[in-house]
């Protein structure tokens, strides 16, 4: 049987450095990749365009790929031929899925954390920039230090200081535990799933409308050999749902699907070159 092969990449910290644009070296590799690829990003469309699509266009990439954004639930097709053409293929709505009352419970729980002194960020120099609760339609991103609209040196320094604080104190672990307890009912009845989002925030999604969605969709569309690359395949990470998909399809003889944990974009580059050479 002929296999139809594709690579699926997480974007932030897998193809790009955290919250930064694609490096020219990676753009060159993607331009010459002999395997079809698609991306499954934690972030929204605007960030994927800025971090990935614009640098690819500038590097002379020509071709088409799908971007499953907002943790995989919203699907867009990009066609780059000097111009960038964008088509929306699927969108999901978390609020509609949960219903107004459960959605309000979620919002109130997040607000309460921001107002709770026991969850204050007790680190000198760390400040809040931008929105802290971001409703992206298909998912909610919760960022205790906020998401600045524009990244600048001050915002990057703030982010770095938070990452050090978080690693030292287990701050996000403590919030994750609290959220999973406080939202137990919505998790059970609505399929709500909460994971770490990148290095500073949380991604709140609905089961199946996460990074398993691109894998399921590509499988249904005939792909039989899928390799997923992600930096957050660990428990609580926003790529971890992929492992669940793999476990569920282990017995399926027609499908070969695996996941590769990477330590950052350079590691992805190395592992990718090993695979295709």
Residues known to be catalytic: 10, 12
CB-based contacts of 138, cutoff 8 Å, min separation 6: 70, 71, 73, 74, 91, 92, 93, 94, 205, 209
List the strands of the sheet with 36-40, edge to edge: 84-90, 74-80, 63-69, 36-40, 5-9, 225-230, 256-261
Which CB atom, from 18 or from 114, has the smaller least distance to Mg ion? 18
Q: How far is the CB of 175 from Mg ion (least distance, A)?
A: 19
Residue among 2, 64, 3, 4 at smallest CA distance from 39: 64
Q: How far is the CB of 52 from Mg ion (least distance, A)?
A: 12
Which CB atom, from 44 or from 231, has the smaller least distance to Mg ion? 231
CB-based contacts of 108, cutoff 8 Å, min separation 6: none
Identify the residue whose tokens are 């971890």. Answer: 240
Which CB atom, from 10 or from 210, has the smaller least distance to Mg ion? 10
Q: How far is the CB of 73 from Mg ion (least distance, A)?
A: 16
Q: How far is the CB of 151 from Mg ion (least distance, A)?
A: 16
- DSSP string spanning 37-93? EEEE-SS-HHHHIIIIIHHHHHTT--EEEEEEETTTTEEEEEEESSSEEEEEEE---
From residue 188, how far is each of 45, 51, 183, 239 by CA, in Å? Answer: 29, 35, 9, 21
Q: How far is the CB of 237 from Mg ion (least distance, A)?
A: 8
Q: How far is the CB of 233 from Mg ion (least distance, A)?
A: 10
Three-class SS of residue 13? coil
Which CB atom, from 166 or from 231, has the smaller least distance to Mg ion? 231
Which CB atom, from 139 or from 183, has the smaller least distance to Mg ion? 139
Which CB atom, from 13 or from 105, has the smaller least distance to Mg ion? 13
| Site residues for Mg ion per CB under 5 A | 10, 12-13, 231
- DSSP string spanning 45-60? HHHHIIIIIHHHHHTT
């Amino acid at each position: 049987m002929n296999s139809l092969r594709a690579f699926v990449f997480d974007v932030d910290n897998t193809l790009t450095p955290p919250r930064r644009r694609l490096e020219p070296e990676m753009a060159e590799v993607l331009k010459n990749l002999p395997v079809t690829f698609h991306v499954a990003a934690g972030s929204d469309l605007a960030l994927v365009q800025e971090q990935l699509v614009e640098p690819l266009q500038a590097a002379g990439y020509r071709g088409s790929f799908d971007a499953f954004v907002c943790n995989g639930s919203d699907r867009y097709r990009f066609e780059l031929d000097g111009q960038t053409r964008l088509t929306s293929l699927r969108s999901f709505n978390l609020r509609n899925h949960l219903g107004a009352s459960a959605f309000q419970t979620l919002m109130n729980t997040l607000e309460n954390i921001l107002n709770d002194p026991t969850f204050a960020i007790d680190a000198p120099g760390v400040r809040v920039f931008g929105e802290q609760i971001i409703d992206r339609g298909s998912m909610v991103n919760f960022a205790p230090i906020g998401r600045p609209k524009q990244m600048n040196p001050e915002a990057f320094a703030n982010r770095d200081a938070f990452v050090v604080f978080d690693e030292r104190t287990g701050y996000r672990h403590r919030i994750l535990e609290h959220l999973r307890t406080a939202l137990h009912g919505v998790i059970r009845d609505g399929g709500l799933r909460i994971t770490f989002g990148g290095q500073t925030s949380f991604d709140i999604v609905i089961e199946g409308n996460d990074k398993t969605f691109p894998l399921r969709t590509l499988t249904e569309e005939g792909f039989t050999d899928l390799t997923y690359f992600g930096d957050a395949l660990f428990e609580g990470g926003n790529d971890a749902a992929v492992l669940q998909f793999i476990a569920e399809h282990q017995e399926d003889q027609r499908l070969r699907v695996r996941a590769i944990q990477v330590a950052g974009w350079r590691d992805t580059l190395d592992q990718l070159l090993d695979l295709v050479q």
